[in-house]
Structure 1
Amino acid sequence: MTFSMIRRRPGGLPVEVTGFVGRKAELEKLSELIVRARMITVVGPGGVGKTRIALRAAAGQKDAFDHGVCLVELSGLRDPELLPHTVAAALGLPEQTGESQLDALLDHLQQRHLLIILDTCEHLVDHCAMLADILMRETSRVTVLATSRQPLDVPGEHTCPLPPLPVPDSDQGRAGTDDAVELFAQRAATVVPGFEITDDNRERVIALCRRLDGIPLAIELATVRLRAVPLDQLINRLEDRFRLLTGGRRTALPRHQTLRTTIDWSYELCTPRERMLWARLSIFAGPFELSAVEEVCSGGELGRHEIMETLIGLVDKSIVVRADDDDAVYRALDTIREYGAEKLAQSGEESGVRARHIARYATLARHFSDHFVDDDQLARFHSLHREHDNLRSAFEYALSEPGQDEAAAELAISLWGYWQISGLYTEARYWLARVLERFPGDCPQRGWALGVRAYITAFQGDPRSAVQDLAEAVPLAERLGDRLLLGRLHLYRHLALVFSGRLDEATAAGARAREIMQEIGDHLGLVCIDAQEGHLHHLAGDSARSLESCQRGMRRLGEHSREQWVRGYLHYLIGIARFRDGDLDGCVEPLLEGMRIKISLGDNTGLAYCLEGLAWHAAETGRMERVAWLLGAAERLWQWGGGNRLSGTAIMESHHQRAERLAHAKLGGVRYAERHAQGFRAAIEQVVLAAENGSEHLAPLPRAPRRLEVLTPREREVASLVVQGLSNREIAQRLVISKRTADAHVEHILTKLGLSSRTEVAAFLD
């Protein structure tokens, strides 16, 4: 197994893709605040680099926090009711309980020593302030670092104002005062290869940076024009533009107006089609794929065949940036997107673009549902998960645009499998509740929404509420005469009754579901009932019938199926059935295969089941240290799920307690507790690798391979000189380049290798 299958950890810090310039004093202040204060807000105007410095400071201080750093990106969030859910999702906290998401979040954070970054709070400032205040009062070791255009005004808040980059008054300016000039030089060098600040052009660059008030985004937008015009013309054209706005006076514009004017200028330098696409792209929240742009943003004077060329034009002008080097995924900065949204509203096209956006994501959701057990399930799930902010936006548009109620219902209902795999149960119930408000009478939408909500609610550990929803939905489906809906509702009722421990009633519901689904040929429903009945027989203590049901489900999927979600649980149940039959050799591989599948999906609950089963096996084979850390790792996953095992029946508990008792007796209380705590604290990847290898002890993860191939030949040459201990000035002299070029090379090396200092380069290359 390779960990390349695992999706990027939620809340992880992104790798910097461009050099970090200056900010030494601000970075030192912010870094010092992070370790001594609990509530810090980086404040400053749009485009000044608040997110960038927050991420850089957090990366430098992550070792000061026992449980690391979690980034919560809020720019794509518009509904404040989902703020606690968004934080929980960034923490990787599955929604497995019926309690409020805020309560679950606070329970999880009680014993955590963690830095949480709330990035881009200004559009949700009141709700972010309320959440931060609660975190300050209800936890003792959680630190909140926010970025916002205004303070949150929370008691105990320390603000860290971030001004624009300093610009020297003259050629006398040096390090610490010419950061804006250095930024210009770095970005210009990426546009015009070989560009350097020289004695001939330095004063002109200083004048330009001063005119742009040292605002990083304004400088970056301006440097892009060097591709089309030389430096002198660039300065003259920008100066002419500002002179128009100041009536010919040389008084400075307010800084927010400087940025606005720079963006206006960039907009006017775009072609008509690029302007149109810029406005339409504002409909997306978060990253977007090329296929989405072609589908949502084409129309009228911008044909689908023109989208790619037009998008490339916006990338060339730094209006849009590549978010992923491997896939055609793009994004726009918040300030750029806000500007585009204004233009879209003025154009009169907003409703039409919103309708296409809704249709795009409703189609994706429907395709995921209709092809849930297809071989590409995992890839399609990860694609949807990456588009989560856009799914939210589609819901918000559909629930606010006239005539889009049915689209909102289709989204919420068709995403049943996505909600299930992702564990986003609370958010699913939120959207389904809003859909149900729009469909109060007898109609298919109400029946399906009630059924899907019941299914999700049962998985979340609230089967009683699920049974209540189904008590309304089943008669409704009978009145409608909808056989597919009725069969699925009995399937969902079977699950809710199993989780309620009402196994006799569940057996009857399962038989009714199977009868209807066989009648109408519901392949997906039959696969699901096979798995659910396998679980029922397991809880009833009938391992033979459990194995029979699971093997029938496997045959129904097909020998070569690459479906993941159902197969993962079928493998787990097959392993447990063999274990209970005493087949200690035959139970391990199904449990390991279930584990591999569940970690590839990010399904922490399914993973916990598999680790439990492997711990029971280890106990019966006398490997007690393995028992302790496996149970410790599973315990953390159960806690993430709210602290209760959904199938916490006598059979499950008896196996768990026996493994715990045997390990405790063999190791002694102290040693068992140490090994259990080791598993509880270990990275999940570390646990999975040790389980996969059959290890008795937890070992550190293997060191990541050296990625020197990401460096250019010149950067490798510079890196070797860094290892030899040469300063940047000495490197410049050795290679006959300017010091600024050497500085830029070193910065690029650090960024590409994911390092934070020159001293780490030697360790990396040893």
Structure 2
Amino acid sequence: MTFGFRSGRLPAEVTSFVGRTAELASVRRLLGRSRLVTLTGPGGVGKTRIALRAASQVKGDYADGVRLVQLSGLRDAELLPHTVAGALGLAGNDPRPALDALLEALADREHLLVLDTCEHLLDAVALLADVLLPTAPRLHILATSRQPLDVPGEHLYAVQPLSVPDPGESGHRPGSASSDALALFTQRAAAAAPGFEITDGNREQALTLIRRLDGIPLGIELAAVRLRALTLDQLAQHLSDAYDVLEAGRSVPEPRHRTLRTLIGWSHELCTPQERLLWARLSVFAGGFDLAAAEAVCADAELPVANVLPLLISLVDKSVVLRADGPGGPRDEARYRLLDTIREYGADWLDSLGETTACRARHVAHYHRLLSHFADRFFTSEQLRLARALAPDGDNLRAALGYALQDPDTAGSPLSLTAVMWSYWATEARIGEADYWMAKALARASEPAAHRATTLIWRADFGRYQGRQAQCLPWVLEACKTADELGDPRLVAQALRISAGVHNWLGDESSAMAALTAAEPLLAAHGARADLIQHHYIKGSALLFCTRRPDLAMVELDAALRLCTEEPEECWAQGYASLLRTMALVLLGRPAEAVAEARRCAALKGALGDTVGIAGAVEMAGWAEAGQGRHRRASRLIGAAAAQWRRLGSEPVSGQQAALAMRERTIGQIQEAIGEKEFTRLFTEGETLGQDQALAFTAAGTDAPQALPRRRAAGTPAAAPATGTPVDALTRRELEVAELVAQGLSNREISQRLVISKRTADAHVEHILSKLGFSSRLEIAALLGSADEESAEDTHT
């Protein structure tokens, strides 16, 4: 996938990692002899940090790498398989249950799957692990949870707080386990209060404080930031008082839970009333959020919008809210999140204030506005920017749907969300998840009728890519009937267009063309540019597949592309028109033009991360190359496409019967030219390519990929590190772009320097980040700096 923030890669650490040497060694040993390791312990004890650091240390041991699945923002257990599939880069096109598709995809992969924060989905995660591990013999799982999963074969590692020096021990020995808690306090205190240091005069006070905190890392960090306003003596005294006051009369069985709860409560008491109010209201977010979301959801007459930013900054300063880079790195707009234990405290406070319902309603309204704007601007040059901006909010979009389904009278109709969420689901390739939510919304809500009709239209449109054409027809018929009753000609035309698409997939020429013909006068009178673009490429598809008239199809597809020139940075519609145009050129016997068109399509779909479109582009490139007599390259491309279709859970070419017949004819011609055995060998080589490698191969024009990935047999140790640097994985153009990134140029400045479109520059940067396994542009700069140093050393040797 080209969107790094949905790829499941490990995040960069934003604060220093202190100690835990023995713990990391133990976790690595457990991973070496067990396929399911669960780190347990109370909230705030450091389970996630240890899991991520351990996973980073062992990622080279797994042929298919490490994937992180962050579950803290997931509330619906039924979506767990979809969430795991998304982290693995699998699109949700498979009509089977998501778990079945996931089982097949993981059957022959060697991954370490990190399932973080499982306690609120304990039964679902346990079931998933119990089903996956026997079916996928090379899969390993590292989970974090406050409770064990209780699955056969699970090895538990109880994460303890940082070791606290005993009374009388100084904790002064560097590198000793007993100094870790003091080292963490010292580092965080120095960050909060520049100039702070541990001296012989204050060491015992600091040790007394961290003993009172039981060595819990989150507790130490929350206390350390108070040194901005308090001396160490005052901090220790205030904390002692807080324990006496806040814990009076409470009975909590686990002392460490009581310690953390007390400390969070004390932090809460030290906040101003408006800071407490913001903290409570922020608890409705699932996962991260940005400033605009915080202002829209948390502000009202009691908490003016102008106050949100300074209060948010204050909560960041107090370590109540964590700041993180956006998906594009430090230059992106900042995002924020609450740790689970802190969010739970805020949610309890919000509930006690009686504000939960109102705050959730504002949450739904905010994300509805974002989705509506994206849907309205989808067929414009803003498409890629808006898709990237919305992608990190997947957990919040699910939460909004959940809030609306729980309380439609207050939070708003769930159908109003599903009617505009199609653009997000399409660009994120979450078609199976889309069907899940649309089915729930349609089953539990019937008003308003226009939103119901629109939801039915998109459910049918997505459904045909899942091979569910027969089920789609009743949805389209209901949508047409509802739109007609509403007297909405544009909605009727949209329903007729999707009806044509479904009939086209079924090979029903007369019904497809009749629906298109009926839609045309409505479009002429009421259609928007986006409607006309879609109409032209669906009609082109029908002419191509049903009537077998590629010449007439080219007329429609060219008309769609002419309309697209008004918004040249749009990728989705241009990509599909280009895909169909490639097939038409192949049928017209113009393979050189078809090759160029296929590469254009691959670039468009690659920039957007449209997995269905990417698979189609690679497939079409193979057909076009076969038409030019480049049978070996064609064999590898068709093999690469086959792997992509499999990962999508789809038949090749989405199961379109006429296209399948063309594919078989092309394969037959290749086998006749080079022999069945050679075709199979090359096809199998192509199947080993990942999505980004397949895109790079399509663009390169070479007979063979630059380097075919190697897989080791199960149980074989990981290969020694390569002597080359990661820079060697980049193409010459990508290296050129990477060097400009390292110089601090923006994507627009890079496009101007290299005389390429900004979209192409965006795509290059995304590919570079994906190839190198990076999440930040700063990492590219650091890598190139180290590569330059190595080169200089080689020169001097």
Give the superposition deviation at 1:765: 9.0
Task: In structure 1, give the amino acid aligned to 2:179.
Answer: D
Give the superposition deviation at 1:264: 1.3
Q: Does 1:699 align with 2:698?
A: no
Q: Deviations over 1:15-50 (max 9, x none)?
A: 112111111222111112223211211101000111
Q: 1:709 to 1:234 in 2, by over 3 A?
A: farther
Q: 1:304 and 1:274 mapped to 2: Cα distance?
A: 13
Instruction: State the percentage of identical aligned residues.
Output: 41
Moved more, 576-585 or 126-135: 576-585
Match of 1:40, SS? strand
Q: 1:106 and 1:765 mapped to 2: Cα distance?
A: 48
Q: 1:702 to 1:362 in 2, by over 3 A?
A: same
Q: 1:434 and 1:762 mapped to 2: Cα distance?
A: 57
> Pairwise mapping of residues 294-443 of structure 1 onto structure 2 (< 5 A)?
294-324=295-325, 325-326=330-331, 327-401=333-407, 403-404=409-410, 406-440=412-446, 443=449
> Pairwise mapping of residues 181-260 of structure 1 onto structure 2 (< 5 A)?
181-244=182-245, 254-260=255-261
Q: Which of 64, 69, 73 lines up with 1:67 in the alignment? A: 64
Q: Does 1:561 align with 2:568?
A: yes
Q: Deviations over 1:643-665 (max 9, x none)?
A: 40245456534543455456556
Q: 1:464 and 1:405 mapped to 2: Cα distance?
A: 34
Match of 2:692, SS? helix
Q: 1:450 to 1:689 in 2, by over 3 A?
A: closer
Q: Which of 608, 619, 626 lines up with 1:619 in the alignment? A: 626
| Contact 1:16–1:754 (CA under 8 A) maintained in structure 2 | no
Task: In structure 1, give the amino acid aligned to 2:52.
Answer: L
Moved more, 339-348 or 137-146: 137-146
Q: 1:760 to 1:59 in 2, by over 3 A?
A: farther
Q: Which of 155, 158, 161 lines up with 1:158 in the alignment? A: 155
**Aligned residue pairs, count:** 720
Q: Does 1:453 align with 2:459?
A: yes
Give the superposition deviation at 1:523: 2.8
| Contact 1:11–1:90 (CA under 8 A) maintained in structure 2 | yes
Give the superposition deviation at 1:423: 2.0
Q: 1:682 and 1:183 mapped to 2: Cα distance?
A: 44
Q: 1:134 to 1:258 in 2, by over 3 A?
A: same
Task: In structure 1, give the amino acid aligned to 2:156.
Answer: T
| Contact 1:419–1:456 (CA under 8 A) maintained in structure 2 | no
Q: Which of 107, 123, 126 lines up with 2:123 in the alignment? A: 126
Give the superposition deviation at 1:548: 0.8
Q: 1:337 and 1:107 mapped to 2: Cα distance?
A: 36
Structure 2: 5+ residue runs without aligned partners? 708-728, 745-777
Give the superposition deviation at 1:245: 5.4
1:76 paired residue number: 73
Q: Deviations over 1:319-376 (max 9, x none)?
A: 1122213313111111111111111111122222111111111112222222221210
Q: 1:178 to 1:286 in 2, by over 3 A?
A: same
| Contact 1:514–1:526 (CA under 8 A) maintained in structure 2 | no
Give the superposition deviation at 1:684: 2.5
1:682 paired residue number: 689
Moved more, 653-662 or 380-389: 653-662
| Contact 1:320–1:332 (CA under 8 A) maintained in structure 2 | yes
Give the superposition deviation at 1:507: 1.1
Moved more, 118-127 or 647-656: 647-656
2:264 paired residue number: 263
2:509 paired residue number: 503
Q: Does 1:610 align with 2:617?
A: yes
> Pairwise mapping of residues 602-751 of structure 1 onto structure 2 (< 5 A)?
602-649=609-656, 651-657=658-664, 659-661=666-668, 672-700=679-707, 701-702=729-730
Moved more, 651-660 or 327-336: 651-660
Q: Deviations over 1:487-530 (max 9, x none)?
A: 11111111111111212211111111222222223332221111
| Contact 1:165–1:214 (CA under 8 A) maintained in structure 2 | yes
| Contact 1:17–1:752 (CA under 8 A) maintained in structure 2 | no
Task: In structure 2, give the amino acid aligned to 1:580.
Answer: L
Moved more, 364-373 or 642-651: 642-651
> Pairwise mapping of residues 471-510 of structure 1 onto structure 2 (< 5 A)?
471-510=477-516
Q: 1:356 and 1:188 mapped to 2: Cα distance?
A: 37
Q: 1:253 and 1:764 mapped to 2: Cα distance?
A: 56
Q: 2:91 and 2:653 mapped to 1: Cα distance?
A: 13
Give the superposition deviation at 1:754: 11
2:720 paired residue number: none
Give the superposition deviation at 1:172: 5.5
Q: Deviations over 1:416-474 (max 9, x none)?
A: 22222322122222222222223458933433332222222123221111012223332
Q: 2:5 and 2:246 mapped to 1: Cα distance?
A: 46
1:732 paired residue number: none
Q: 1:157 and 1:639 mapped to 2: Cα distance?
A: 31
> Pairwise mapping of residues 93-104 of structure 1 onto structure 2 (< 5 A)?
93-104=90-101
Give the superposition deviation at 1:379: 1.3
| Contact 2:537–2:576 (CA under 8 A) maintained in structure 1 | yes
2:22 paired residue number: 25
Q: 1:628 to 1:9 in 2, by over 3 A?
A: farther
Moved more, 21-30 or 645-654: 645-654
Q: Which of 32, 37, 47 lines up with 2:34 in the alignment? A: 37
Task: In structure 1, give the amino acid aligned to 2:372.
Answer: R
Q: 1:246 and 1:304 mapped to 2: Cα distance?
A: 35
Moved more, 25-34 or 72-81: 25-34
Task: In structure 2, give the amino acid aligned to 1:74.
Answer: L
Give the superposition deviation at 1:695: 2.4
Q: 1:671 and 1:629 mapped to 2: Cα distance?
A: 11
| Contact 1:405–1:438 (CA under 8 A) maintained in structure 2 | no
Q: 1:121 and 1:754 mapped to 2: Cα distance?
A: 35
| Contact 2:743–2:781 (CA under 8 A) maintained in structure 1 | no
| Contact 1:295–1:360 (CA under 8 A) maintained in structure 2 | yes
Q: 1:405 to 1:508 in 2, by over 3 A?
A: farther
Moved more, 672-681 or 94-103: 672-681
Q: 1:561 and 1:290 mapped to 2: Cα distance?
A: 30
Task: In structure 1, give the amino acid aligned to 2:593.
Answer: G
Match of 1:387, SS? helix
Q: 1:45 and 1:762 mapped to 2: Cα distance?
A: 44
2:761 paired residue number: none
TM-score using structure 2 length:
0.85
| Contact 2:602–2:618 (CA under 8 A) maintained in structure 1 | yes
Q: 1:753 to 1:214 in 2, by over 3 A?
A: farther
Match of 1:159, SS? strand
Q: Deviations over 1:133-176 (max 9, x none)?
A: 11123332222221100001111111111011111221156312
2:766 paired residue number: none
Q: 2:171 and 2:253 mapped to 1: Cα distance?
A: 22
Q: 1:27 and 1:572 mapped to 2: Cα distance?
A: 49
Q: Does 1:48 align with 2:45?
A: yes
TM-score using structure 1 length:
0.88
Task: In structure 2, give the amino acid aligned to 1:202.
Answer: R
2:104 paired residue number: 107
Give the superposition deviation at 1:672: 4.8
| Contact 1:362–1:407 (CA under 8 A) maintained in structure 2 | no
| Contact 1:366–1:410 (CA under 8 A) maintained in structure 2 | no
Match of 1:585, SS? helix
| Contact 1:361–1:394 (CA under 8 A) maintained in structure 2 | yes
Q: Does 1:293 align with 2:290?
A: no
Q: 2:232 and 2:253 mapped to 1: Cα distance?
A: 21
Q: Deviations over 1:537-568 (max 9, x none)?
A: 22243211111111111122335532221111
